[in-house]
Amino acid sequence: MRVSERVDRLFTRALEQMREGSRLKVIVAGTRESLFGSSYRTAQEVPFLRDSLGMQRYMVMPILALLPAALAAIYFYGWRALAIIAVSYFFGALTELTFCAVRRIEITEGLLVTGILYPLTLPPTLPLWMVALGVIIGVAVGKELFGGTGYNVFNPALVGRAFLAFAFPVQMTNYWFEPFERGFGGFLHYAPAADALTKATPLMQMKFDHVTTSWLKLLWGNTAGSLGETSALLLILGGLFLILTRTIDWRVPLGYVGSLGLFSWLLWAIAPDKFPGPVFQILAGGLLLGAFFMATDPVTSPITTKGRWAFAVILGLLTVAIRSFTGFAEGVMFAILIGNMFTPLLDRLTLPRGVKGVRVE
């Protein structure tokens, strides 16, 4: 591998120039090891044999799974969607690097997922400076203040979004657009046209005007909504990819979607004219994005199997409750953030103590 060697030599030379123990050196050295991945440093204790899956690959899997939804975001709302993602990555990385430099630790891969997940939860025309502010708050307050990837209590992407929802409620809830849906769609536009402004997502239309949206539209995704949440089909495909590659635990999305379906069916059975049916509840809004990509964030969800089931059911219950009985039309973000708070308790209650079995007399 001649390219490898050449890049490696570049790093070696750069590192020689840097002062021992300097902040830059820590980060550059860490970056080199991450880039070279695999066997740059070999295991020095048992087991010497290690799984080929490292943190880089583990964190790249959700990005692969989100690519269809991200492409759909561009198709539905124009190239501005890509600009939002780029701003999110840039300012997210800047925040992360600052904290790593101050604390003299190597940069970790957690940002890879946050950087794409967070913009997909935003309305298509949110000013870019707000996008930047949100990701800075999300990464800094949501993750780094807790100690960095692995130690955070709340999903950083949702912390950033929650901050924006409170700081800029108008921009976050009133500017929805009808998507492009003909021909090359948004691939030929930068942003949605001004006359496409609708001010309501399917969930809002349902809640405030009792107007239903067809399942087909929800499945395909040509409805108003956040960048990445509209196409149920692509989100399900991405989620299945993660489940089949065993990157996420199938129990969380199944438990979340299943319990949400059950609870909303109960409400619908009691008062069909007041509450929407379960299929609408599942396909509309951010539920699928949340269930497959945010509730499954390993750091902020329980580690045990039983804990994950309980976590998923709590999320389903909270989402239905918020959507049905509060002033908000959408409840996925709050449900997951509140659910994150249950994680340590659920873990504690369900810690495995070993295989229970038959003991001889």
Kindly list the residues in this chain that would bind another protein in the complex (CB under 8 A). Answer: 1, 3-5, 7-8, 29-30, 33-43, 45-58, 60-61, 106, 108-110, 147-151, 244-247, 249, 298-299, 301, 303-305, 308, 351-360
Beta strands (DSSP E) in 113-242 are none
* In the complex, least distance from residue 18 CB atom to another protein, rounded to whole angstroms: 16
Cβ proximity to another protein, 199 vs 246, nearer residue = 246
Q: Which residue, 46 or 270, is less far from another protein as judged by CB?
A: 46
Tell me the C-alpha distance between 133 and 204, whole Å.
Answer: 26
Distance in Å, CB of 280 to another protein, minimum? 32
Shortest Cβ 308–another protein spacing (Å): 8
Nearer to another protein (CB atom), residue 51 or residue 195: 51
Q: How far is the CB of 286 from another protein (least distance, A)?
A: 23
The amino acid that residue 183 corresponds to is: G
Instruction: Report in angstroms how near the CB of residue 153 gets to another protein at its nearest.
Output: 12
Between 173 and 304, CB nearer to another protein: 304
84 or 310: CB nearest another protein:
310
E strand intervals along 262-333: none
Q: Between vectors from CA 158 to CA 220 and to CA 180, what angle results, nearest 5°?
A: 30
User: Minimum Å distance from CB 93 to another protein?
Assistant: 17
Which residues sit opposite 197 in a β-bridge? 177
Residue type, 25: K
Most distant CA atoms of the chain, gap in Å = 78
Kindly tell me which of 75 and 292 has the beta carbon lying closer to another protein. Answer: 292
59 vs 87 by CB, closer to another protein: 59
Pairwise CA distance, residues 334 & 166, whole Å: 12
Residue 275 burial (CB < 10 Å; 0-12/13-18/19+)?
buried
CB of 142 to another protein, least distance (A): 15
How far apart, in whole angstroms, are the C-alpha atoms of residue 15 and residue 46? 30
Give me the least distance between CB of 114 and another protein, in Å please. Answer: 13
Close Cβ partners of 4 (under 8 Å, ≥ 6 residues apart): 36
Confirm if 172 and 194 have CB atoms less than 8 A apart: no
Closest CA to 156 of 114, 119, 113: 114
How far apart are the C-alpha atoms of 84 and 116, rounded to whole Å?
9
Q: Which is nearer to another protein, 170 or 355 (CB)?
A: 355
Check whether the bond before 47 is cis (ω within 30° of 0).
yes
Q: Based on CB atoms, which residue is closest to another protein, 33 or 102? A: 33
**Least distance from another protein to the Cβ atom of residue 299, Å:** 5
Measured CA to CA, the distance from residue 259 to residue 309 in angstroms comes to: 10
Which tokens in the block code for residue 175? 């500017």
